[in-house]
Amino acid sequence: MAITSSVMSRALIVQALKDGIVKFHPRELRRSPVMAIVAIGAVATSIALIVDMTKGSFSGVDLQITLWLWGTVYFANIAESIAEGRGKAQADALRRSRQTTTARKMVHGVEQVVGSSDLHVGDLVVCETGDLIPLDGDVIDGIASVDESAITGESAPVIRESGGDRSAVTGGTRVLSDRIVIRITVEPGQAFLDRIIGMVEGAQRQRTPNEIALSTLLIGLTVVFVLVVITLPFFTQYLSSTGNGSADTSISVLMALLVCLIPTTIGGLLSAIGISGMDRLLRSNVVAMSGRAVEAAGDIDVLLLDKTGTITFGNRSASEFLPAPGVSVSDLARAAYTASLADETPEGRSIVHLARHTHNIRDAHEDLRDVVTHAFTAQTRMSGADFVDVSGTSHHVRKGAADAVEAAVVALGGSMPKDVRTAADKVASAGSTPLVVSDGNRVLGVVELKDIVKGGIRERFERLRLMGIRTVMITGDNPLTAAAIAAEAGVDDFIAEAKPEDKLARIRLEQSQGRLVAMIGDGTNDAPALAQADVGVAMNSGTQAAREAGNMIDLDSNPTKLIEIVETGKQLLMTRGALTTFSIANDVSKYFAILPAMFAGLYVGSDGTSPMETFNIMGLASPQSAILSAVIFNALIIVALIPLALRGVTYKPQGVTAVLRRNVLIYGLGGLVIPFVGIKLLDIVITALGLA
Amino acid sequence: MDLTQLIPIGVFLLLIVVLSPLLGTYIAWLLGGESSDEMDWKQYLGAILTFNAVGFGLLMGILMCQQFLPLHPDGARGLDISLAFNIAVSFVTNTNWQSYAGETTLSPFSQMVGLGTQNFLSAATGIAVLSAFTRGLARSTGRTLGNAWRDMSRIVLGILLPLSILFAVVFVSEGVVQTFDPEHQVTTVQGEQQAIPLGPAASQIAIKQLGTNGGGYFNANSAHPFEDPTPLTNLLSTIALVLIPGALCFTYGIMANHRKHGVALFATMTVLLTIGIGVSLWSENVSAAVLNESVVMEGKEVRIGVAESILWSSTTTAASNGSVNAMHSSLSPLAGGVAMLNMMLGEIVFGGVGSGLYGMILFVILTVFLTGLMVGRTPEYLGKRIDAVDVRWAIVAIVAPSASMLIGSTLSLYTEAGRSSMMHSGAHGVSEVLYAWASAAGNNGSAFAGLNANTTFYNIGIGIAMLIGRYAVIVPVVIIAGRMVSRIRMKESAGTFPTHSPLFILLLIGTILVVGALTFFPVLLMGPLAEQVQLMQGGF
C-alpha cells in the first residue's frame, strides 16, 4: 500500500486539529466515558466561572483551570483524529482504485457490457489485457498476469490461472496480459477492497474484547474517584464547622482534582491505540478482518504451517544420483534423464537439469527410436519412457517412488537390490526424497530430491520461540524426511504424511488443550483449518475459499509475516497496559500536589502553619500554582504520549518476565516519578510567569 | 526503640509460617474431591444466601425474645428492633460489630445459641464461598462448583469445631472463665461493692478468634482479663486470628493445582501485615518520644504492653476479626490509620476466613489483568481468560464496600444523628466515624471507641454497610466462579506471566496499595495523617 511512513505529517496534524473540534459533539464524547467526565467537569467549571463573573468576582486561576480542562478533552480528540486521519489517507488512496467500471459479462456465451455494480455472485465476466477486474472472483478459464499493486503495493505482476491455488482475483486489480474468464464470488459493495477500506477507515471498527475489559476497568476507577471527590467536601465542611479551619472546595478545585485522578491519559489515548494498531498491521501489508483477530494474534501459542513454500522452497530439486552396484553414474543419469522427459513437474525438470549439467547428458532424442513417454499419474506414481536405443536394444525406463518402482520391477521378475534400498532409506532419513530409477526389471539406482530450507527461517522460528510460540510443520512427507527437515528448520514439532483433515484435527486438539492456534494457508483444502484456527492467515495469492476462511490476509503472501502479526498484536495490548499503569501511577504525585493545596487552610495552628504543609513534599510555591501545575501536567502528558500511542511501545521478543520488568520500570516506576518532576517544573514556570 | 519489642512479633510470624501450610493441606484434603450432588453457581449462591437469611431471622428472633428463653440469670430483656437488626446482621456477616456491652445486654443463651452458632456458620459461609470460587478456577469445562451443604458441614465439623475445642481447652486451663454462674458480687479494696459478670467465655473466645468473628463475650473484648489472662493466651489468640485465613492460601494453592501461587498469596499477605506492624510500631515509638514518655499506655493493658497491643491491632484489623486487646482510639494516630487502612483495603490481608482470600483474589485478577496487557497477552488467571464481565464484577466487589465506607462517613459527618454520637471533633472525630464505617463495610467489627454507636442511625446504617460489605462481594465472587468454571483452562506457555514470582508479589502489593489506598488517601490525610503530624509538631 502506498503510504507515507512518517508517523505524523504536517497535513495530517492540521486536519486533526480541525477534526478534534468536531469531536466535542456529545455523541462523540459519549464513546469514551472517561473523557465525557472531563467534559462535564469542564462545563461545570465554566458555569461556575460565569456565575462568579456575574457576581463580579473573577479568578484568573479558575479561568486557567477551566481552559486546561477543555484542553484535556481537545488533546484526546486530536489523538484520535490523528490515528483516524492516517487511516483515512489510506482509504482515499484505495478508493481511487475502486471507481465503478464496466464489465464484460458473459450471458449464454455472449458478451454484454454492464456496470460493475450490476454484477451478482455467480456471474461470469471476461477480462483481457488492460481491463480492470470488476469484482472479486475465481478464474475459471485461462491464465493471465495481473497487476495487484493497487492492493499490495507490489508492482511486479502476479500470475492468476484457473484451477489450483492461484485462481483468486481481486476487484480493482488490472489484467496485464492474456484473457481470463472470472466467476464473480461477492456482491458489489462487499468486495475485498470494500472491506479493506471499511477496516482502514475504522467505520467497521468494533471494540475488541480486551479493549472492552479495559474500558470497564477504567470506568470502575472513574466511579471510585467521582465518589472520592463528591464525598470530600462533606468531610472538610464538617471540619470547618467544628472550628478546624477551612479547605478550598470550590468547583474548579474539585473538578481539577477529579480530572487529575481519573485515568485520562489512557482514557484519552485508548481509541488512538486501537486504530493505530490496525494501521501498523496494514503497513506491513496484512489486512485483518477484525480487531479481535489482531488481539488474538498476540496470544498465539501454536503456529501450524505447511512445509512446502513456507519452510522450504516450493520445489524439491534433484541433487545427486546414487547408482546401484554395477551401474555407472552416467548410465543412471541418462536413464533418469530419459524417464523424466515427459515429466513436466518441477522435480522432473530438476532431474533433467542435473543430468545435463553435472553428467553432461545431451539431448539424445534423435538417437532413439519408437519413443513412447509415460507421464506421471496418481495411479502408477511413476513416469518414464519406452524406446529402442542406437544398438537396437529396447528399454523401459521408469522413475518413481521406491515402493511403486519395486512393485513394477518385481512384477517383471526382478528384485530391489539391498544396497539400493539402504541408499533410499538413507536419503529419506536425511530429509530428502528418494526416487528409484529402473530399466525393465533392473533397478539402476536412486535419485535424491532435496528440499531446500529457506535461508533465515531458523532464526525466525527462534524469534517465535522467544515469544512463547511453538511451531508445528505440516508435510505430506514420510516421518523420516519430515524429522530431518524439522531439525534443519528448527521447528518444534511436525506432522508427517499429513492429509488435509489432519490440519483441522490438530488445530482442534490444540484448542481443546487450551491453546490458541494460528494457521497459515493458501489452498482451498486449507479453508476449514483456516476457519477453525484462532488466527487464520490466508495468502493473498491463495484461493478465494482460503481468503474467505481466514481472518487475516497477507497481501505479500509471505508466510513468515506471522511474526510481524504477532508482534503487532502484542504491542497493541502492551501499549494499553503500559499507559494504564502509567496513568494510575501518576495519581500518587497528583494527590501530593493537589490535596495539600486544597487542605492548606485546615488545622492551622497558632503559628499560622497547617500540618498539611508537611505533605507538600514537592515544595510547590502556592496552592493555586500547585493545582494549576497538576492540571496542566495532566493535559500535556496526553499530547506527549500521542506518538507513543501511535507507534506502540517497543517490543523485543524476550521472556515474559523480562518484558514485564522492563515495562513496569518504565511505565510503572516512571509513572510514579515523572509527574513529580513535571509538576515541580511547571510550578516553577507558572510562578516565574506570575500565572498563579 | 526497644528491640525486645520485636521478639513477640517474630515468634508470632514464625509460628504462622509453620502452622499455616499444615492446616492448609488438611483443609484441602477435607474439601477436595467431587460431591455426588453438585450445584451450579446459581444453586450454590441460592443455598448460601437462603442459609444466611434463615440464620438472620432466627437470630433476630432470639435477640428480641431473650427474656422468654432459658438461661438469663441476670434478667436480660428483649432488644429493640434496630439493635436486634444490627446484631443479627453483624454476626451473620462475620463482622461482629458490637454497639452494646455483651455481658449486660445479652443473656448467655443469646450469646451461646444465638451468636455462638453464627460465629461458626458465618465463618463456614466464608470458607464455603472460597471453596466454590476455587473450584470455579480449578475445574475446566464443567458447570458445578461443589455442594454448599457438604462444604459447610465439613467446614464446621472438620475444621472449626475441633480447633475451637482445642483452643477453648487451653484457654480454660489458662484461666479464661467458662461458667453459667450469675455475676459475682465482690468488695473492692476501696471497700466498694462491684458486680463482676461471668459467663461461658472460653468457648466463645476460641471461635471468635478462629472464625475471624471478633465479637467478645465481654465489652472490653480481649483487653478483659477473663478473655485474655496470660501471655500464652495472648499469643494463641493472636495466632488464632490469622491461622485459618493463612492456611486457606495453601488450601487454595493445592485445590487450584498451583501450590506456588498459594505460597505467593500467603507471602503477599505476610508482607503487607508486617509493613503495617512496622509502621504502627514506628508511630508508637515516635509518638512516645514526642510526648517525652518511654511508652504511651493510654488505652492499652499494662500487662499486655505496646508491642503485643500493636501486633494485635494490626493483625485483628488485617484479618477482619475485630477483637481487640487495646482501645484503638488510643493508639498513636498513624497506628490507628494503619488499622483503618487494613480494613479499607477490603480486609484482604489475611482477612476474614474465606472472605479475605477471595477478596485478595479479586485484586489478583486486577493485577494479572494489567500485567497480562503489559506482556502483550490477553489476561488470564490460572489459565482462565479474563473478560470484560469478570472485570466488571471484580470492580463491583472492590468498589461497593469502599463506597459504603465513604458514603456512610459522609452521612455521619453531615447529619445531626451522625454527629451527636461522636465523642471528639476535628481530626480525631473524623477518624472515629471513618473507623466505624470501615470496620462495618470491611466486615471487621472492631471499634475505635469513642463513638456511641448504639443509636437507631448507626444501628441501621452500620447494618446496611455490613450487608453491602459482605454480600456485594460474595455475589460477584460466586458469579465469577460460575463464569470461570466452564472455561477451558489454558496451558501455561512460555508467553504466560508466572503468578508466583517475587515480581508478581511486588506488583500485587503495588496494585493493592495504589488502587485501595488512592481511594482513601484524602480522608486518611484529613484524619490520622494530619493528627500524626500535629502530634509530632507538638500541636497536640
What pLDDT does A299 receive? 85
Helices B456-485 and B388-414: crossing angle, nearest 10°? 180
**CB contact (8 A) between residue A573 and residue B522:** no
Residue of B31 and A280 predicted with greater confidence: B31
Q: Is A580 on the interface with B (CB under 8 A)?
A: yes
Q: What is the pLDDT of residue A657?
A: 86
Q: Is A326 exposed, middle or buried (0-12, 13-18, 19+ CB in 10 A)?
A: exposed
Give percent of chain B with pLDDT exceeding 90: 45
Q: Which DSSP string corresponds to B7-62?
A: HHHHHHHHHHHHHHHHHHHHHHHHH-S--SS--BHHHHHHHHHHHHHHHHHHHHHH
pLDDT band at A1 (very low <50, low <70, confident <90, very high): very low
List the single best residue of B334, B367, B375 to mutate versus A (max A Cβ within 10 A).
B375
* Three-state secondary structure call for residue A251: helix
Mean pLDDT of all residues in B121-133:
95
HSE-CB at B75 with a 13 A cutoff on CA atoms is 0
Nearest C-alpha in B relative to A236:
B526
In A513-666, alpha helices (H) = 527-532, 544-549, 562-598, 623-647, 656-663
Express each pLDDT in B230-247 by its tens digit.
Answer: 888 888 999 998 999 999
Judge whether A8 is closer than 8 Å to chain B, CB to CB.
no
A235 and B409 within 8 Å at the Cβ level: the answer is: yes
Q: Do B414 and A238 count as a contact with CB atoms less than 8 A apart? A: yes
User: Tens of pLDDT along B258-305?
Assistant: 999 999 999 999 999 999 999 998 888 888 888 877 777 777 877 777
pLDDT at A99: 65
Band (A366; pLDDT cuts 50, 70, 90): low
Among partner residues A242, A512, A595, which is closest to B522 by beta-carbon distance? Answer: A595
> How many angstroms separate the CA atoms of B224 and B227, rounded?
5
Give the model confidence (pLDDT) of B393-440 as tens digits: 999 999 999 999 999 999 999 998 888 888 888 888 888 899 999 999
Question: Would an 8 Å CB–CB cutoff place B403 in contact with chain A?
Answer: yes
**Which residues in chain B have their CB less than 8 angstroms from residue A611's CB?**
530, 533-534, 537, 539
Are A611 and B537 inside 8 Å of each other by CB? Answer: yes
Contact assignment for B378 to A212 by CB distance below 8 Å: no
In the predicted structure, residue A535 carries a pLDDT above the cut 80: yes
Find the closest chain A residue to B404 by CA distance.
A227
Q: What is the pLDDT of residue B49?
A: 97
pLDDT at A2: 38
Which chain A residue is nearest to residue B389, measuring alpha carbons?
A: A213
Q: What number is the ipTM of this complex?
A: 0.89
Report the distance separating Cα A29 and Cα B32, nearest Å: 51
The mean per-residue pLDDT over the stretch A474-482 comes to 81
Query: A550-570, pLDDT tens digit by residue?
Result: 888 888 877 778 888 888 888
- Does B378 sit within 8 Å of A299, measured CB to CB? yes
Among A197-206, B255-264, B431-440, B505-514, the minimum mean pLDDT is found in A197-206
pLDDT at A3: 42
The rounded mean pLDDT for chain A is: 85
pLDDT band at A513 (very low <50, low <70, confident <90, very high): confident
* Secondary structure (DSSP) of A143-187: EEEEE-HHHH---S-EEEESSTT--EE-TT-EEEESEEEEEE-S-
C-alpha dist (Å) from residue B93 to A293, B445, B532: 45, 10, 33
A551's grid cell = 481472518
Instruction: Tell me which H or E stretch contains A33.
Output: helix A33-54
Residue B419's φ and ψ, nearest 5 degrees, are -70, -35
Q: What is the mean pLDDT of residues A372-396?
A: 80
Q: B501 in contact with A at a CB cutoff of 8 Å?
A: yes
Mean pLDDT of chain B: 88
pTM for the structure as a whole: 0.84
